[in-house]
Amino acid sequence: AGPRFVINAQNCVHCKTCDVKDPNGNITWVPPEGGGGPNYEAM
């Protein structure tokens, strides 16, 4: 088996790196419920 990309959702800071770095497109990042989290431009 090759390298693994492991995410700990409890420590998520909504930086969207997992969506950008996922080479196979297995992760679809969406803003948290209620619209909380960082206010990123163009999202």
Measured between alpha carbons, how far is 10 from 17 in angstroms, rounded to an integer? 15
Where in the chain are the domains?
1-43
- The pLDDT of residue 26 is 82
Measured between alpha carbons, how far is 4 from 13 in angstroms, rounded to an integer? 20
- The pLDDT of residue 19 is 78
Write the pLDDT tens digit of every residue in 4-33: 777 787 888 778 788 787 878 888 877 777
- The pLDDT of residue 8 is 81
Q: How many CB atoms are located within 10 Å of the residue 2 CB?
A: 3
* pLDDT for 43 beyond 70: no
